[in-house]
Amino acid sequence: MTIGDYYQRRAPEYDEVYAKPERQADLDELKVLLPPLVAGRNVLELAAGTGYWTQVIARAAASVTATDLNPETLAIAATRKYGGAVPLLLTADAYRPDAVPGDFDLIFCGFWWSHVGRADIGRFLAAISARVPRGARLVLADNRYVPGSNHPITRTGPDGDTYQLRRLHDGREFEVLKNFPTRDELAADLRPYASALSYSELSYYWLASCELTGQ
């Protein structure tokens, strides 16, 4: 089974990760920090999943187009109630933002950067840089690795990618790529495509924004 199969089958369980008691204070803080970064912007959200973070950005954005590769997760997103901008939900590949219609001045990726393989970072950043005007903003939110709260890292690949073994409620197991970059590593990856990096580090999560400068 592919990683796409994993996320299709995980859709009903997707949001359980946000119920972890130790993460609640961080989640509350992210929900305060994130809306000002997207306020008044026309947002393209990549890998939106079930729309958990779409709800947060919709409160402040001028418009939101939320995309995901899996219709199963977007079906859950379609059941949510959104304050502010009602998002347009579209099935799309995060590596092909050119296929998404609309004009955008901000790209948001919530908990997707960690699933981009080291060898694919340049391809991904080139694709999103080409999709929006120079000077558009990129906002990223993702996990820090905290032993005991995250799934253990089971192996490291030749490119430096780290992997976790995840089990669904039905017992099926999947190996999932999940990277945990430091601030310096993130800055180095973004530098060829972005400037003016702003970075907030919480106990369990990080939040970053920058301006896309093109290829």
For domain 3-145+182-212, give the CATH superfamily: Vaccinia Virus protein VP39 (3.40.50.150)
Pick from 12-16, 41-45, 165-169, 209-213: least confident: 12-16
Q: What is the pLDDT of residue 1?
A: 46
Helix (H), strand (E) at residue 72: helix 71-77
**Would you state the pLDDT for residue 182?**
97
Residues paired with residue 171 on neighbouring β-strands, in sequence order:
none
Tell the burial category of 6 from Cβ atoms under 10 Å away from its Cβ (0-12, 13-18, 19+). middle
* pLDDT higher than 60, residue 39: yes
42: left (phi over 0), alpha (psi -120 to 50) or beta: beta
Interval 11-15 mean pLDDT: 72
**Is the pLDDT confidence value at 4 over 80?**
no
Cα-based angle 197, 198, 204 (whole degrees, multiple of 5): 120
Structure tokens at 214: 């093109």
Averaged pLDDT for residues 18-42: 97
pLDDT (tens digit, 9 = 90+) per residue, 111-120? Answer: 999 999 999 9
pLDDT at 150: 86
Q: What is the pLDDT of residue 215?
A: 62
Question: What is the mean predicted confidence (pLDDT) over 40-57?
Answer: 97
- pLDDT 10s digits, 54-111: 999 999 999 999 999 999 999 999 999 998 889 999 999 999 999 999 999 999 999 9
d(CA 38, CA 57): 7
Write down the pTM of the prediction.
0.93
Closest by CA to 54, choosing from 72, 34, 69, 71, is 34
Q: Residue 2 pLDDT > 60, yes or no?
A: no
Q: Which residues contact 26 (CB under 8 A, 6 or more apart)?
A: 202, 203, 204, 205
Tokens in use for 16? Answer: 């359980």
- For residues 14-24, average pLDDT: 89
Domain boundaries, the chain: 3-145+182-212
- Give the pLDDT mean for 110-136: 97
> What whole-number distance in Å separates Cα of residue 25 and Cα of residue 17?
14
8 A C-beta contact, residue 190 and residue 125: yes
Q: What stretch of H or E contains 130?
A: helix 121-131
The Cα 186–Cα 199 span in angstroms is 10
Question: CA 6 → CA 21, 28, 48, 57, 165, distances in Å?
Answer: 25, 28, 16, 26, 11
